[in-house]
Structure 1
Amino acid sequence: MIELRRSPRITVTWRAGVKLPDGKLVLAKLVNISAEGVLLHTTENLMPQRSYPMLIEIPGIFQESQIYKVSCKGTVRHAILSGEVYHVGIQLSEMSQLHTELVTAWISKTAHLG
């Protein structure tokens, strides 16, 4: 299968939190990540076109036991209910340069393994 997206994605099993407007923190599992966005699974319906503060836990590129807590903002592009879980596509923004480089390093590392 040929990847037609602008940014290649890698499959991950990372954790994230999404802060709702009422202050509630929703836990989520990241399914894949690219330089521009993520696909996550959550039990909460996130509204398309709305931006949410997020925290993503990303393992260190050389030492995976070292976890970086990455603050960013996520804008929901789509949310689809499948069973009891929402599959939510999110465009990332407001991530530090260091953390953007960490995501890019993971994508590069995984691309070379395939």
Structure 2
Amino acid sequence: MEGKPLAAGNVAGNAREHERINVNWRARIVAGPSQYLDAKVINASIGGVCFVGDHPYRQGTELHVALAIPAPEDRTKLHYVQVRGKVAYQVMNNHMFKIGLQFTAVDETTVNLIKKWVWS
């Protein structure tokens, strides 16, 4: 369900610092100048995202990711943003990989857009 806040802090083994929200956003992992891999973001916070894709990444790998984030006030309009992050974890689930990405480079405009989603 999109829009449902998730717990933050170290609750029942959850070491996340920031409140998260379930989402359904498109993402592209940039693999080269004209190479990318599609993925789906399933939850987000101001500190990172969790996405599902068909390619594994080792913990600690630095990724360049393009996100299509719907405007919270009008979900028919998309904001295309780029972030960098480090893979925090990877879990295989039904032949797909669930990847936790902790942001290492994200601009203030993108952080404010994600805040609107998390805190709305």
TM-score range, shorter chain: 0.7 to 0.9
**Any runs of at least 4 consecutive aligned residues in structure 1 with deviations exceeding 6 A, and if so which?**
none
Aligned length: 109
Matched letter for residue 53 of structure 1: H
Q: Cα RMSD over matched residues? A: 1.8
Aligned with 1:51 (options 62, 76, 81):
62
CA distance in 1 between partners of 2:8 and 2:105 (Å)? 26
Runs of 5+ unmatched residues, structure 1? 110-114
Higher strand content, 1 or 2: 2
TM-score (norm 2): 0.83
Higher helix content, 1 or 2: 1
Instruction: Look up the match of 2:51.
Output: 40
Instruction: Look up the match of 1:90.
Output: 101
Alignment of 1:1-114 (within 5 A): 3-4=8-9, 5-20=16-31, 24-109=35-120
Identity, in percent, stands at 20
Runs of 5+ unmatched residues, structure 2? 1-5, 10-15
2:7, 2:19 within 8 Å by CA — same for their partners in 1?
no
2:7, 2:20 within 8 Å by CA — same for their partners in 1?
no
Matched letter for residue 119 of structure 2: S
